[in-house]
């Protein structure tokens, strides 16, 4: 390839761009890469005046920079692939969730094998009185647990699985309702968190596991507060 043809392939004449239209036509072309630069340098060496050779020290230095950039680009690609693998979840990783007990926001809960039940309440502000009410499958109120004054944050609660009359409440599922008030008698934001076993798992479009919990449906892993 001659020097002129090399320049022409880049849209450049010996004294600059051949025409305005040619220059404009190449505005959208990708930047010159290492291969283009090497071709241009080779063409220059082939067509230089042997009695007045050009100083190629700058071209050699730029060629070294191209090599360094190519190495950095390849390293970045490798690191990105490693990061994606570390952040992603394989099918084996997702299957490890099955059978685990997780704590997540919800109002439907199942008791432990001994009939008792535990959970957590998230309070949005300090409360002078917090009450947990457990309802049966038919909506009947079974037990009210008074937690008294509580500070803002997460509060654990336990229920022994018996009704207000002291009889076993059964196997559920139970509905957990929370009420909270401040010293002025105004309602305080409160959300119940319940424990539930993971019965199945699937991978979402982004590769993150989607957990299926009895009574709660499907939740993303990001909704899990604790793992038991």
Comparison of pLDDT for 198 and 58, the residue scoring more: 198
* The pLDDT of residue 193 is above 60: yes
Q: Do residue 105 and residue 200 come from a single domain? A: yes
Helix, strand, coil % in the chain, rounded to nearest 5: 30, 35, 40
Does the model's pTM come out above 0.85?
A: no
Strand order in the sheet with 153-159: 153-159, 117-123, 190-197, 101-105, 226-227
Helix (H) or strand (E) holding 3: helix 3-9
Comparison of pLDDT for 122 and 88, the residue scoring more: 122
Q: Do residue 193 and residue 212 come from a single domain? A: yes
Q: Do residue 103 and residue 173 come from a single domain? A: yes
Q: Do residue 139 and residue 189 come from a single domain? A: yes
Q: How many folded domains does the chain comprise?
A: 2
Digit-coded pLDDT (tens) for 98-123 = 888 999 999 999 998 899 999 999 99
Structural domain for 126, as ranges: 94-227
DSSP letter for 130, please: E
Asked if 176 and 132 count as a contact pair (C-beta separation under 8 A), the reply is yes
Whether the CA torsion 68, 70, 76, 82 is positive or negative: it is negative
- Please state, as a whole number, how many other Cβ atoms lie within 10 Å of the Cβ of residue 105: 15
Asked if 41 and 32 count as a contact pair (C-beta separation under 8 A), the reply is no
* pLDDT at site 55: 63
Tell me the C-alpha distance between 43 and 163, whole Å: 92
Would you state the structure tokens that stand for residue 16, as one six-digit string? Answer: 């600059």
* pLDDT at site 208: 80
Q: Do residue 80 and residue 119 come from a single domain? A: no
Would you state the structure tokens that stand for residue 121, as one six-digit string? Answer: 């309440």
* pLDDT at site 124: 92
Q: Which residues pair with 82 in a beta bridge?
A: none
3-state class of 81 per DSSP? helix
Q: Do residue 104 and residue 182 come from a single domain? A: yes
Comparison of pLDDT for 125 and 91, the residue scoring more: 125
Q: Do residue 23 and residue 109 come from a single domain? A: no
* The pLDDT of residue 6 is above 60: no
Q: Do residue 115 and residue 73 come from a single domain? A: no
Domain ends where: 87, 114, 136? 87
* pLDDT at site 85: 58
Strand order in the sheet with 127-135: 108-109, 174-181, 127-135, 141-150
* The pLDDT of residue 191 is above 90: yes
- For residues 196-220, average pLDDT: 87
């Amino acid at each position: 390839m001659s020097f002129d043809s090399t320049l022409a392939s880049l849209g450049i004449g010996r004294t600059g761009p051949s025409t305005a239209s040619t220059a404009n036509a190449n505005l959208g072309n990708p930047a010159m890469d290492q291969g283009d630069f090497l071709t241009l340098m080779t063409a220059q060496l082939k067509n230089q005046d042997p009695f007045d050779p050009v100083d190629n020290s700058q071209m050699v230095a730029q060629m070294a920079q191209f090599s360094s950039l190519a190495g950095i680009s390849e390293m970045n690609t490798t690191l990105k692939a490693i990061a994606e693998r570390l952040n992603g979840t394989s099918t084996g990783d997702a299957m490890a969730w099955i059978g685990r007990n997780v704590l997540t926001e919800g109002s439907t809960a199942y008791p432990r094998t001994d009939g008792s039940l535990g959970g957590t309440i998230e309070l949005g502000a300090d409360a002078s009185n917090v009450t947990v009410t457990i309802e049966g499958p038919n909506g009947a109120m079974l037990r009210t647990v008074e937690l008294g004054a509580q500070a803002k944050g997460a509060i654990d609660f336990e229920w022994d699985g018996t009704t207000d009359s002291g009889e076993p409440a059964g196997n559920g599922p139970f509905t957990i309702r929370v009420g909270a008030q401040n010293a002025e008698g105004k309602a305080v934001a409160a959300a119940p968190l319940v424990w539930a076993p993971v019965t199945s798992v699937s991978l979402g479009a982004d590769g993150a596991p989607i957990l299926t919990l009895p009574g709660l449906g499907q939740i993303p892993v990001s909704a899990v507060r604790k793992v038991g």
